[in-house]
Chains A and B, each alone.
Chain A
Amino acid sequence: MEKTIAISIVDASKSYDGQGALAVHNLSLEVREGEFVAIVGESGSGKTTLLKLINRLVEPSGGEIIVSGNNVGAVDPIRLRRSIGYVFQEVGLFPHMTVAENVAVTPRLLGWDSAKIDARVAELLELVRLPQESASRFPATLSGGQRQRVGVARALAAGPKIMLMDEPFGAVDAITREGLASDYRTLHERLKLTTILITHDVVEAVLLADRIAVMHVGTILEQGTPRDLLSHPAHDYVRELMAMPRQQADRVGALVSGASP
C-alpha cells in the first residue's frame, strides 16, 4: 500500500546573506507518513537549516516545502509550529518553569483547559519514562538525559504527527544516549509519528532510521535504507562515512583480540 507523503521538500534553497553562500541548495526530500528518516552529515552541511525550513524557523530563499499537503509558505507560522514537535539541539528548556510547565507550554498556547493539561503532562512523563515527582522540579536540577526526555515530552505535548529532532541526544553520554534513542524509536512506532532526526552519529542513524539521507555542503548527496547505503553506496563520500562505524568496530575488535591495531 502506498503511504501518503507527510513532508515534501522541492528544490529548496536557503542563503543567509541574501546572495552567494547557500546553506542549503536545490534540496529535495520526501518523507512518507510514519517514516523515520535520519539526516547525517558533518557540521555546517546545512542539516539544521533543513529542519528549520520545515517549521518556518527559517524562510526558504527558493523552492517549496509542503507539510501535510499544505505549502508552509501559505500557513500561519505560529499555528504550523504548534502542530509540529521540535526537539532542539541545546534542548532549550525554559529554566524559570518547572518540568510540568515546560511540557505544558504548547497546550497552554493552544488554550487547553487546565484539567486536560494536567492529565496530558502526567501521561507524557509516563511516556518518556520520567518519574511523576519530577513534574514540580526545575530543569537545572535534572541530569542531562532527563532534560532531553523533558525536551521530547514538550515536543510531543500537543499531539503532533510530525517530529523534527535536531541532534536530540547529543549532549549526553553514550549509554544514556543509547537508552534515549531506543526509547524514542519505540515512541515513534507507538504514536505513529513521522520523524526527521538529525545526527552526526552514523551508528545512531543506522540503528534507528528507516531511511538515511546523507547531506554534504547544503544538499542531499544520497539517500536510501541503512542496508542500501552500507552495502552499495554510490558516492565515495558516502562510502567513507558509512564505513566509519565498521572500521571503528574492527579496531576495537582487534584490540580486544590482542592484535596490534
Chain B
Amino acid sequence: MQLDPRIAEALALLPDYLGQHVLLSISAVALGIALALPLAVASLRSPRLRFVLLSTVGLIQTIPSLALLALFYPLLLGLSLVAMAMFGVQFSALGFLPSLIALTLYSMLPIIRNTVTGILGVDAAIKQAAIGVGMTPLQSLLQVELPLALPTIMAGIRTAAVWVIGTATLSTPVGQTSLGNYIFSGLQTQNWIFVLFGCVAAAVLALVVDALLGSIEIALTGRDRRRLSPRGICDFGLIGRAGREPVFAPIRPMWPANQKSPPKMRIFGRSC
C-alpha cells in the first residue's frame, strides 16, 4: 500500500519542524521557570508586590498570542538598531528570539500563580514549627515550604508547558520554524492533510510532555506517596487519587467530587 504523497511529504518535514518546535518550547518553559520561581518567592513577603506581579503577568495573558508574538518584531527591530548604533552588534528581530520572549512571558502566569498559591497554602502550623525548631527563613523555604508546595508548582509548570507547546505553532508567522509550519502552509495551499497533521502533532507533543512532567513530579515527591499507601504504585498511570493530579491529566476520568477516591479499576491486572 502506498502512503498518500502529502502524508509522506509531511513526515519528511517532521524531524525539522518537531525538533525546532521542541527546542523553542523547552527554552521558553525553562526560561519561564527560571524567571517565575524567584519572582514568585520574592513576592511572598509583600502583598503589594504580589498584586503588581500577578496583575502584570495576568495582563500579558490577555494579549492574544499571535499579537504578542507579532509585537516583539518591531520592538526587537528597534532594539537591534539601537544595539547596532551603540555597540556595532546586530541581532535578528525575526525567528527564534521574538518567539522565545513571547512564549516565555506566556508561560509565567501559571508558574507564578501556582507557586504563590502553593507556598502561601502551606499550613501555618507547619511554618510556625519550622521557625520554632530553629530554621532560618531560607531553610524553612527550601526544606519545608517549597517541598510541600511542589505538587501545586508542578501543576503550574505542566499547564505552562501545554500552553507553550500549543501557542508555539503561532511562531511560524514571525519566521520561526515550528509545527505551525504545517498549519500555515496547509492553509495557504488548501492542503488540509498538512493542517490536520500539524494540529495532531502539536497535540500529541503536548500530551507526551505533560505525562513526562508528571513522571518527574512523581520521582520528586513519589517517595512519601508510595509509603503512604500500598496502592501508590497505581498513581503512575491514567488515574489520579484523592487530591492529586493524575499523571495523564488531559484524559482524567471523572468521578463524583464527594467520592474520596476513584472507582476501583484494574490496570494491567493490578487492582487500584
Contact = CB atoms under 8 A, between A and B. Distances in A.
A binds B: yes
Interface string B200-225: 00000000000000000000010010
Contacts of B133: 81-82, 86, 105-106, 109, 154-155
Contacts of A21: none
B224 A92 contact: no
A159 to B, nearest CB: 13
Contacts of B269: none
Interface string B92-123: 00000000000000000000000000000001
Give the size range of B's interface with the partner. 20 to 34
B228 A92 contact: no
Interface in A98-144: 98, 105-106, 109-110, 136-138, 140-141
A179 interface: no
A4 B74 CA distance: 77
B155 to A, nearest CB: 17
Contacts, number: 66
A73 interface: no
Contacts of A86: 132-133
B129 A94 contact: yes
Given A57-B131, A81-B131, A82-B134, A138 B224 contact: yes
A95 B148 contact: yes
A88 B125 contact: yes
Contact of B147 (A88, A96, A137, A155): A96
Nearest to A158: B134
A92 B129 contact: yes
Nearest to B229: A141
A79 interface: yes
Interface string B131-157: 111111001000010011000000000
B48 to A, nearest CB: 19
Contact of B224 (A96, A109, A155): A96
Contacts of A105: 133, 135
Interface of B is mostly: helix
Contacts of A89: 125
Given A57-B128, A88-B128, A95-B126, A109 B135 contact: yes
A98 B227 CA distance: 10
Q: Which 5 A-B pairs have the closest CB atoms?
A: A92-B129, A82-B134, A90-B125, A81-B134, A92-B125
Interface of B: 123, 125-126, 128-136, 139, 144, 147-148, 221, 224, 227-228
11 contacts: A81-B134, A82-B133, A88-B125, A90-B125, A92-B126, A92-B128, A94-B126, A95-B148, A105-B133, A136-B227, A155-B133
Interface of A: 55, 57, 78-79, 81-82, 86, 88-96, 98, 105-106, 109-110, 136-138, 140-141, 154-155
